[in-house]
Structure 1
C-alpha cells in the first residue's frame, strides 16, 4: 500500500536542530502560532470548507427521517464519517483505512458526538417511531498536517450552518415542510468543541501548535486537546514519550484560548454568510429567540 514519503535524515536533523537550538520553524511561524485559516461556505446549507495552511477539508451535513434505535427512543441519530482519499495524499487509499484515518474518526467521534455537542433529543419527532438522522461527511481534499484540527473546525462550522426542514405533528401524522413553506430550523448545538493538537520535541520540553506534515513526522509525541469556550472536553495522547504534567496544564490553557478564538471567528463568518442568504429566515429565527450559533 502507498505511504507518505519519509523525511530524509538530513531534513529531519535540520528541522530538529532549528527547533531545539533556535526555536525556528521552516515556515517562520512562532511555536504557538497557527497557519492561516480560511473558512468558506458552499451554496448549500451545511457545507463548509476549511483551509489550514495547505491542508484542506470539506464537510457536508445531511439529514433524513428515520426510526430511532430501540435503546434511545427519545433521541435522534448523529453520525460522522471520514474519507481520506488519494487526492489528498499518496499515503491514503480508498477502501483501506489507515491507522491515521481510524484515529481521526475516533477523535472526532469523542470530541463532537460523545461530548454531546449536538442535542440529539431535539432531533426526536415521534418517540420510538420517527427522528432525524443527521450525518456529517468529512472529505479531506489536501493534506499537510493539522488534519484533526481542520476536520473538527470544518465539522462544527458545517453543523452551525446547517438547517433542517420544519416538521409538524398532528396525532400520528408527520408533515415535513419545504423551505418555501416554512423557514428551516437550525440544529440545537449545546457547545462548540474545537480540537487543538500539540506536538512534542526535545524529550517533551518543546511544544508546537499546528505542526506541518514534515514536523509531524519528526515529533516524539502528540496530544489532541478538545476544548470549548469554557472547559476541556477530552484529551487524547497516543503513545510517544511522557510529558511533564506542568506542560500539559499549560497546553490546556492554550487550548481553551485557541478554541475561543476559533469560535469567535466562526460565529462572525457564519453571521455574515447567513445575512447574505435570506433576511426573512434570519428574522424568523430571531423572533423565536434562536441564535444563529449555539
Structure 2
C-alpha cells in the first residue's frame, strides 16, 4: 500500500530517473542501501537501519500453556508498532490496514516458515512451553519498512538467549546466567525478505525502493528466501500483471542478497558474544512459582543452612539481564496448571528453597 498524495513535479522527476536507470540516492537499480546492525545490552535487543529507515526489535519470553493440537511446541509472535511515525497522507483506517499487512507478512516469514525449532521451546509436554515475542518499533520511515523489520526480527531471535530450565515433580528449576550459561534459540534457517518495486507498466524493476519510489510504484513483489534457495513466501501487491521471466530475475537477485545478509547476521552475533567475558557458574538453586503473591516473591526468607541450596536471587547479587527480561514470576494464568499428576490441587508450589541432604 502506498501513500496517495504526490506532486506532479516529483512524479516526473522520479519516473525520468527510472527511465534513465538512475536513482535519486545515486544507487543502481539492483543495489540495496547499507544495513547497520547494533546490539544493545539486553539479549535480543537490536537496532537496525536500512539507509535511513530505522527499526528496533526486542525479544522477550514467558511461560505459557501449549496448544492442545501441538502439546510439545512453543509459541512465536511478532508485533509491529508504527505509531511513532504516522503516515500523514493515509487515512486512519488505511494506516491500520497497512500495519496489519506488514505484520502478516512478517508473521508468515518467521512463524509459518518454521525457521525456529518450536519443539526446543517445550519445558513439559502438554503443560508448559516458552512463548517468544518480538516487539518491533519503527522509528523512521524512508521506505522499505518490511525488509528492515525482517532483518531486525531475525537478528533479535539469533541474538536472544533463553535461561536453562529443569522440571522435578512440582518444582521448576530456573538457572540464572551466573549458575548456568543461557542457551540460544535453535534457528534452522534465516528467511530473509527482499522487496522489488515495478514502474511504468512493469517495464522497470527496482530493488529496495525508498519512500519517494514507494509512492509512485505500480506494484511490488516481496520474496522471502533462505540460504538453501528455498522460497519461504511470495507476496504481491498493486494492479500489475507480471511475467514469469520477471519473477525469475527477482528470485536470482534475491538469492544473492540473502546469502550476503545471512553471513552478515551470523558474523555480527558471533563477534558480539566473543567480546563478552566468560561466566563462572555456581551451585544451582530451586525456584518455584508463587500463585498468591507473584510480585513479592523475591522477599521470601532465605535459609542459609549447609543442607539447603543457594537461592537464585540474593540481595548482594543484582539480577542478570536475562532475569530482568523473563517474566517467570508474573504468570497469573499458571494457577490452573499442574506440572505433574502429583499435584491434585492444580497449583504450583510457593517460591522457597527446598532443603536437600548432601549425604543423600
Q: Tell me if both proteins adopt one fold, taking TM over 0.5 as the criterion.
A: yes
Residue number in structure 1 paired with 2:260: 261
Task: Please list every run of 5 or more consecutive structure 1 residues that lacks an aligned counterpart in the other structure.
Answer: 282-294
- 2-structure distance, mates of 1:179, 1:145: 39
Aligned residues: 278
Tell me which of 48, 70, 73 is aligned to 1:72: 70
Aligned ranges 1:29-178 → 2 under 5 Å:
29-87=27-85, 89-90=87-88, 98-178=96-176
**Kept after mapping to 2: 8 A contact 1:84/1:92:** no
- 2-structure distance, mates of 1:122, 1:201: 44
**Kept after mapping to 1: 8 A contact 2:115/2:190:** yes
- Secondary structure of 2:238's aligned partner: coil
Tell me which of 182, 188, 193 is aligned to 1:184: 182
Does the alignment pair 1:240 with 2:234? no
- 2-structure distance, mates of 1:263, 1:151: 15
- 2-structure distance, mates of 1:43, 1:95: 37
Q: Relative to 1, partners in 2 of residues 1:97 and 1:4: Cα closer, same or farther, differing over 3 Å?
A: closer
Residue number in structure 2 paired with 1:10: 9
Task: Please list every run of 5 or more consecutive structure 2 residues that lacks an aligned counterpart in the other structure.
Answer: 281-360
Residue number in structure 2 paired with 1:287: none
CA RMSD of aligned residues (A): 2.0
Displaced runs of 4+ in structure 1, greater than 3 A?
86-97, 278-281
**Kept after mapping to 2: 8 A contact 1:85/1:93:** no
- 1-structure distance, mates of 2:53, 2:86: 8
Shift of 1:202: 2.2
Residue number in structure 1 paired with 2:198: 200
Q: Report the structure, 1 or 2, having the larger strand content.
A: 1
Larger radius of gyration: 2
TM-score when scaled to structure 2?
0.74
1:140-186 CA deviation, whole Å, 9 max, x = no partner?
A: 11101011000000000010000010011223432111111110010
Q: Relative to 1, partners in 2 of residues 1:101 and 1:228: Cα closer, same or farther, differing over 3 Å?
A: same
